[in-house]
């Protein structure tokens, strides 16, 4: 039997050891209240379902409190926009559905030992009030909103929304951090120049970012690329900029832990951003998206990618292109909510036990 997809040391013989590690982490997590700053400082902890029933209350991300200002926050979570999409619409409803599915998320990550809510002050900042009739104006509104978030020292974790939103978010990021590294998970390059005469839509954000020098091109990695294309030009463009492009077929039936070790070395200690398009995953797992492509990544590979960012200087993340009209059972939104939780767990200030 071919076992190339397994991590080293994760066969049946090490299973008992992994369970012991998990039990030890859980005991540590139960004994930890606050792990950064003032030990008496309050933290926003999602309520336990043993105390508050999951269907109870207004629906916010991970049942966190909502705030109108990023002041005092370490991280915050939504941008309902899909006017930049080119195929199936509906991503404007993505943030709402992701929030609904996030009620299943709890406070600790026993697989990694991460304690995000005991380490950071986290809240839901709500949605940017975009202009659904004017895409360029929406980009302006998003950029202005994110400039305030970033200036306050808050790390944004964005619920999309179509992939157009990453362009104005990175505009705001670059004003504080300069050109950033990028880990981009997607079925598509998103480096086209234009479509139907329009230069801003969900297929062009990273070309616009390169043109405005928002990206450190030597630290850009694109993973999961696949599908048919009308031209090779976006592929050629990415490679000409120095991007590392990892095709989906190069990820089939294998662990991505070795790849992420290389990515960590490439990113170094400089600021980097994670942009995760849900269509990077195979539509068998994530059907609720606007531009699905067959033979994509698996959820376990998605976890390996995000967990592989542990220790990097992550300054922001987004999860985009969830389209609830094509997600009848909520599986795509549930997967998206969990991936956002994993992103929260790898932020620089999060304690791991």
Per-residue pLDDT of 170-187, as tens digits, reads 999 999 999 999 999 999
> Is 49 within a domain?
no
Confidence of residue 86 (pLDDT cuts 50, 70, 90): low
Binding site for Mn(2+), residues? 163, 186, 188, 190, 277, 279
Question: CA-CA distance, 115 to 299, in Å (whole number)?
Answer: 22
> Is 10 within a domain?
no
pLDDT attached to residue 1: 33
**Residue showing tokens 């980097």:** 272
Q: Which two tokens stand for residue 225?
A: 């690329």
Confidence of residue 243 (pLDDT cuts 50, 70, 90): very high
Helix (H/G/I), strand (E/B), else coil: 217: strand
> Is 13 within a domain?
no
> Is 236 within a domain?
yes
Binding site, residues? 163, 186, 188, 190, 277, 279
pLDDT attached to residue 6: 38
pLDDT attached to residue 223: 99
Gyration radius of the chain over CA positions? 19
Mean pLDDT across the stretch 79-107?
Answer: 80
pLDDT one-digit tens code per residue, 94-108: 899 999 999 999 999
**Residue showing tokens 């995760």:** 276
Mean pLDDT across the stretch 231-252?
Answer: 97
DSSP state of 154: P
> Is 352 within a domain?
no
pLDDT attached to residue 32: 53
Confidence of residue 60 (pLDDT cuts 50, 70, 90): confident
**CATH number of the domain where residue 192 is located:** 3.40.800.10
**pLDDT for residue 275 is more than 80:** yes
- Cα distances (Å, whole numbers) of residue 246 to 183, 220, 257, 290: 11, 11, 14, 22
Length of the chain measured in residues: 353
Number of folded domains that form the chain: 1
Mean pLDDT across the stretch 306-318?
Answer: 98
> Is 26 within a domain?
no
Lowest mean pLDDT across 4-13, 218-227, 307-316: 4-13
pLDDT attached to residue 2: 32
> Is 327 within a domain?
yes
DSSP state of 64: P
Q: What is the pTM of this model?
A: 0.88
Q: Which domain holds residue 99?
A: 66-346
- On whether the CB atoms of residues 166 and 180 are closer than 8 A, the answer is no
Query: What angle is formed at CA 240 by the lines to CA 239 and CA 243, rounded to 5 degrees?
Result: 40
> Is 293 within a domain?
yes
Angle in degrees, 0-180, between the axes of helices 257-267 and 299-307, rounded to the nearest 10: 30
């Amino acid at each position: 039997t071919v076992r190339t997809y397994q991590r080293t040391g994760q066969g049946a013989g090490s299973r008992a050891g992994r369970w012991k590690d998990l039990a030890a982490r859980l005991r540590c997590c139960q004994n930890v209240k606050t792990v950064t700053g003032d030990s008496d400082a309050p933290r926003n902890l999602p309520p336990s379902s043993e105390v508050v029933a999951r269907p109870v209350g207004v629906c916010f991300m991970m049942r966190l409190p909502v705030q109108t200002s990023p002041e005092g926050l370490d991280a915050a979570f939504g941008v309902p926009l899909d006017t930049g999409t080119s195929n199936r619409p509906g991503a404007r409803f993505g943030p709402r559905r992701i929030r609904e599915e996030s009620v299943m998320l709890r406070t600790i990550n026993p697989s990694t030992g991460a304690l995000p809510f005991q380490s950071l002050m986290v809240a839901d900042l709500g949605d940017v009030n975009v202009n659904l009739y004017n895409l360029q104006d929406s980009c302006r509104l998003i950029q202005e909103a994110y400039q305030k978030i970033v200036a306050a020292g808050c790390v944004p974790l964005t619920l999309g929304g179509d992939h157009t939103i990453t362009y104005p978010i990175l505009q705001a990021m670059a004003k504080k951090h300069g050109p950033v590294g990028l880990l981009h998970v997607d079925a598509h390059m998103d480096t086209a120049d234009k479509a139907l005469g329009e230069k801003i839509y969900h297929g062009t954000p990273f070309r616009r970012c390169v043109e405005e020098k928002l990206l450190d091109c030597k630290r850009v990695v694109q993973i999961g690329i696949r599908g048919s294309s009308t031209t090779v030009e976006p592929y050629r463009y990415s490679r000409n900029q120095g991007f590392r492009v990892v095709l989906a077929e190069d990820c089939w039936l294998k662990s991505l832990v070795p790849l992420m070790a290389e990515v960590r070395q490439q990113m170094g200690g400089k600021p980097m951003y994670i942009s995760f398009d849900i269509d990077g995953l195979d539509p068998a797992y994530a059907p609720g998206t606007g531009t699905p492509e067959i033979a994509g990544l698996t959820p376990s590979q998605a976890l390996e990618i995000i967990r592989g960012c542990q220790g990097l200087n992550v300054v922001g993340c987004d999860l985009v292109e969830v389209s609830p009209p094509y997600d009848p059972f909520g599986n795509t939104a549930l997967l998206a909510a969990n991936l956002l939780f994993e992103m929260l767990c790898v932020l620089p200030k999060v304690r791991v036990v």
